[in-house]
Structure 1
Amino acid sequence: MIPALARTLLPLLAAALLPAAAWAHALRLTATAADGRIHGHLFYSDETPATGEWVELQTREGTTVQRVRSDATGRFVFAGVGAGDWRLVAEGEEGHRVESALAVAAATAPAAAPPELAALREELRALREEVQRYEQRVRLGEVLGGLGLIAGLAGVAAWWRAQAARRDGREGA
């Protein structure tokens, strides 16, 4: 009985862990636009910064307009960005790739804003990035739900095999 159960559970366990291993080091990107600039942060799912990676600013059609490298903290800035719908594309090590769409509104603020507004804008940008990172994080409830689904499927498979073995035992008698 144990070997049959192991033959059922091992493939299910392997199938469950493979996507988790692939997800373990996914590339993430957050970005906000203000004052004709796009500020962004490039990082891996374990929160380590993706340093020295190329990030492209593309039109909606896929034409590259600017290309920059992320700094030591994973941050990057595109300057002189006009209003419109933009795509940010980053490719990291080992083939990691991430794309993000960003709509940039036309500038409506006066050119010479007080320093207090600049500081507030910077704080809001940091908060927006943190919210975006939080939304992209894999949550414990999702992991536990996935494990529960796998355990349930394994239970159904074991029950089905037990029923089949029971039927085979009766038919042979």
Structure 2
Amino acid sequence: MTRVSIPVLVTVMLLMFGGVAEAHKLKVFATATGAAIEGYAYFGTGGRARQSEVTVASPDGTVLGKTTTDDEGNFRYDATRRVDHVITVDGRDGHVASYTVAADELPQTLASGGDAAAAKPSAERTGAPIAAAPAASRTGEDADLKAFIDRSIARQIRPLREQIDAYQEKIRLHDVLGGLGYILGLGGLAFGLAQRRKRAGTGASDVTRGAQ
């Protein structure tokens, strides 16, 4: 084995392992439909992470709940607080991935920051006159309308986000495979040139010995 071929083979092996790791990379996608957070976990190859533990936590690390993906890699969690939800899926064998569902995607009717009192109308907490009730009612109706619109938009956007995410994964894998082919081609060229120089050197030595 020539000195040139050794680094080439090492580079090829690194790219091969990198390609395998990219293909088996765990990904998580989730979106909020009303107070329900729905999503799924999958690998770069397209396979789903089945029966994997799903941990839902707030940004400060407080665990809000746990669930498990089904046989299709899908999961669901019903939010009770209007905070960012960090979804972490443990696909075993060292495969862990996270995805954050922003608080803005959840209904305004949910308690903010875990404070149940925050979700109540201010009139109820402070004992304000009954005359303020119609305004509070209109606010609740506006919140319900916004939640309905958010759910409708989420249903329309989700397929597009899934397609974009899957396309990006496919592009990355193609780049790795393309780089691998390029390196193999250069390695073959370097090996051929080295062998040619070796044969030329051997022939020159034979001619010199014959002349002596």
TM-score normalised by structure 1 residue count: 0.71
1:13 is matched by which residue type in structure 2? V
Quote the residue 1:143 is aligned against. Answer: 176
Structure 1 gap segments, 5+ residues each: 166-173
User: Which residue is equivalent to 2:78?
Assistant: 79
Pairing 1:124–2:146 present: no
- Equivalent residue number for residue 60 of structure 1: 59
**What SS does the corresponding residue of 2:5 show, helix, strand or coil?**
helix
8 A contact 1:31–1:39 mirrored in 2: yes
Residue 20 in structure 1 maps to residue 53 in structure 2: no
**Is the partner of 1:84 in helix, strand or coil?**
coil
- More displaced, 58-67 or 3-12? 3-12
State the shift of 1:112 in Å. 7.5
Q: Give % identity.
A: 26
- Residues matched between the structures, number: 167
State the Cα deviation string for residues 22-74 of structure 1 (Å, max 9, x = none): 22212111111231121111111111111111111111122211111011211
Deviation at 1:83, TM superposition (A): 2.4
Aligned mates of 1:20, 1:144 — CA distance in 2: 7
Tell me how far apart the structure 1 counterparts of residues 31 and 168 of structure 2 sit (CA, whole Å).
15
Rg comparison, structure with higher value = 2
Task: Select the structure that is richer in strand.
Answer: 1
Question: Which residue identity lines up with residue 70 of structure 2 in the other structure?
Answer: D
Q: Larger helix proportion, structure 1 or 2?
A: 2
2:100 is the alignment partner of 1:104: no
CA distance in 1, matches of 2:18, 2:102: 31
2:33 matched to which residue of 1?
Answer: 34
Gaps (5+ residues) in structure 2? 109-141, 199-212
- Give me the whole-angstrom Cα distance separating, in 1, the residues matched to 2:185 and 2:92: 37
Seen in structure 2, the aligned counterparts of structure 1 residues 80 and 87 have a Cα distance that, compared at 3 Å, is: closer
CA distance 1:124–1:151, shift in 2 (3 Å): same
Distance 1:43 1:141, change over 3 A: closer
Deviation of 1:118 after TM superposition, in Å, equals 6.3
Q: CA deviation at 1:145?
A: 5.1
In structure 2, how many angstroms separate the alpha carbons of the residues matched to 1:98 and 1:92?
Answer: 8
Cα distance in 2 for residues equivalent to 1:152 and 1:146? 10
Stretch deviating more after TM superposition (72-81 or 120-129): 120-129
The alignment status of 1:51 with 2:69, answered yes or no, reads no
Structure-2 separation of matches of 1:124 and 1:77 = 18
The residue matched to 1:60 in structure 2 has which SS?
A: coil
